[in-house]
Amino acid sequence: MTVLDDARAMSDDLVELRHRLHQHPEIGLDLPWTQEQVLAAIDGLPLEVTTGSDVSSVTAVLRGGAGSGGRAVLLRGDMDALPVQERTGLDYAATGATMHACGHDLHTTMMVGAARLLAARRDELHGDVVLMFQPGEEGYDGAGHMVKAGVLDAAGTTVEAALALHVTSSFLPQGMFATRGGPVMSAADVLRVTVRGAGGHGSAPHRAKDPIPAACEMVTALQTMATRRFDVFDPVVVTIGAFHAGTAHNVIPDDATFEATLRSFSPEAHVRLLEETVRICRGIAAAHGLEVDAEATELYPVTVNSATEVDAFASVVEQVHGDGKFIELPNPLTGSEDFCRVLDRVPGTMAFLGACLPDRDLMTAPYNHSPEAAFDDAVLPDGAAVYAEWALHRLQRP
C-alpha cells in the first residue's frame, strides 16, 4: 500500500471530519471548538501534543524511529474561518455569520490525515515531524504568535524545512498542485490617513480649510506613484478601500479619512512602498496648508519560497500523483499569508492545491473568501498524502 492508498482508505473519515469542521466555523485566534475537534481526531496517536497558552493552537510532534535524530521538519495547517455568511447551498453549509470560505477546514483535515499516515510509518521517518495547527491566519498573525511561542523548536531542534498547502476553489484544476520558487504571495500593509482641515460653510471655502480635495488628490497621486515610482517588473498594488468625509452637501467637514491596502512582491518594494505612500500624503497636505496623520503599518511581509525546496516538493507531488499534477506558477498570487513568518526563518514551500467542484467552471467558479466558494472533498486524501510523503522524503535528504 502506498501512502496515497492509505490516505484514500481513510477518505470517509476525513470527509466526515471536514464537514463537521465546516459546520462550526470559528474566527480569529480563539477557536476552542475547533481545537477540541483536532485534539480528539489525533488522540491515541503517538504524538507529543501541546496547546497554545494565548491562542487556540495545537502543536504535535511525531518522533521518527529510523535514526538521524536531531532533524525535524514542519507541516502547517490553518484552522480559522471568516466573517462571511455562507451561500453555497451545500447540505453541510454553515448557517451562522461565519464560514470556512478559505478552505481552512480542508487544511485542518489534511493535517489530521497526515498525522495518521505518518504515525503508521513512524519507523521509516528519519527525524521528527512538527504538526502546526494554527488559528488566526485571516489577518490575526496566528503563525507569528506560534513562531514567537517556539513552534519551530517544538521538537527540541529547529526545523530545517516547512510545508504549507492551501486549497483554491477556482483557477487551478482539481487535484493540481502549484507554486513557484521565490516570492509566491504578496506583502500586505495598511495605509491610514486623516487629513485635518477646518470646517465651514460650503458657500465660502476660503473661510475654511477643505480637507476633501486634498484627500482626493492623495488618492489619485497614490495611483500615479504605483506606476511611476515602481518598476513594472516589480509592481505594487494600492487600493483605497474606504474613504469617509462630510455629512451634508453644504458643509465643509473638519477632516477626511481613508484607508488603503498596499501589496508588494519583493522585500525592497515592500520597504519603499511603506515610505513613499506616507511621503506623498504628507507632501500633498503640506502643499495645501493642511495637517495630516498618515501611517503605513506592516501586516505581513512577502511570502518567499526556497527554489530548491520547491523543486523537491514538485518531485514529491509527481511521485505521489504521477506526471502532470504539478504546475509552476508564472507569477505570485496577490493574496498574503502569515506562513511568511515561518518561511522568513526556515526554507520551505507554500503551495496551492486545486479544489474546484467538478460541476463548476474553473475560470468563473467563486474564489476563496466568496460566500459561494466551495471546495471538493475529493482532494482531502491527495493533500494528506503529499504532506506525509513530503515529510518522509525531506527527512531522508542528506
For Zn ion, the binding residues in 306-345 under the rule CB under 5 A are: none
When the beta carbons of 81 and 193 are compared against Zn ion, the nearer one is 81
Q: How many residues bind Zn ion (CB under 5 A)?
A: 1
Residues 6+ apart with CB under 8 A from 43: none
When the beta carbons of 102 and 125 are compared against Zn ion, the nearer one is 102
Kindly indicate which of the ranges 31-39, 101-109, 179-187, 319-327 contains the residues binding Zn ion, using the contact rule CB under 5 A. 101-109
111 binds Zn ion, rule: CB under 5 A:
no
Nearest distance in Å: CB 332, Zn ion: 15
Nearest distance in Å: CB 335, Zn ion: 7
Nearest distance in Å: CB 167, Zn ion: 8
Q: Cell 523548536 belongs to which residue?
A: 153
21: three-class secondary structure by DSSP: helix
Contact of 192 with 377, CB cutoff 8 Å: no
Nearest distance in Å: CB 180, Zn ion: 18
Kindly indicate which of the ranges 97-105, 124-132, 182-190, 267-275 contains the residues binding Zn ion, using the contact rule CB under 5 A. 97-105
132/129 Cα distance (integer angstroms): 10
Beta bridge partners of 78: 134
Nearest distance in Å: CB 164, Zn ion: 10
Q: How far is CA 364 from CA 69, 169, 335, 373, in A?
A: 48, 10, 18, 11
393/161 Cα distance (integer angstroms): 11
When the beta carbons of 3 and 146 are compared against Zn ion, the nearer one is 146
Q: Which of 294, 26, 271, 239 is nearest to 140 (CA)?
A: 26
Nearest distance in Å: CB 368, Zn ion: 5
When the beta carbons of 164 and 280 are compared against Zn ion, the nearer one is 164
Nearest distance in Å: CB 87, Zn ion: 17
Kindly indicate which of the ranges 96-104, 214-222, 300-308, 325-333 contains the residues binding Zn ion, using the contact rule CB under 5 A. 96-104
When the beta carbons of 102 and 114 are compared against Zn ion, the nearer one is 102
Beta bridge partners of 189: 262, 298
By beta-carbon distance, which residue lies closest to Zn ion?
A: 102
Kindly indicate which of the ranges 34-42, 100-108, 175-183, 375-383 contains the residues binding Zn ion, using the contact rule CB under 5 A. 100-108
Q: How far is CA 97 from CA 31, 86, 107, 212, 371, in A?
A: 15, 8, 21, 35, 10
Residues 6+ apart with CB under 8 A from 264: 186, 187, 189, 234, 236, 237, 270, 273, 302
Kindly report the backbone phi and psi dihedral angles of residue 37, in degrees, each rounded to the nearest multiple of 5, phi listed first: -65, -40
Kindly indicate which of the ranges 59-67, 99-107, 124-132, 171-179 contains the residues binding Zn ion, using the contact rule CB under 5 A. 99-107
Q: Which of 71, 63, 73, 75 is nearest to 122 (CA)?
A: 63
When the beta carbons of 102 and 365 are compared against Zn ion, the nearer one is 102
205/189 Cα distance (integer angstroms): 35
Element (H, E) at 216: helix 211-228
164 binds Zn ion, rule: CB under 5 A:
no
In the list 102, 252, 285, 316, the residue contacting Zn ion (rule: CB under 5 A) is 102
Nearest distance in Å: CB 101, Zn ion: 7
Kindly indicate which of the ranges 95-103, 111-119, 205-213, 355-363 contains the residues binding Zn ion, using the contact rule CB under 5 A. 95-103
84 binds Zn ion, rule: CB under 5 A:
no
385/387 Cα distance (integer angstroms): 5
The binding site for Zn ion (CB under 5 A) comprises: 102
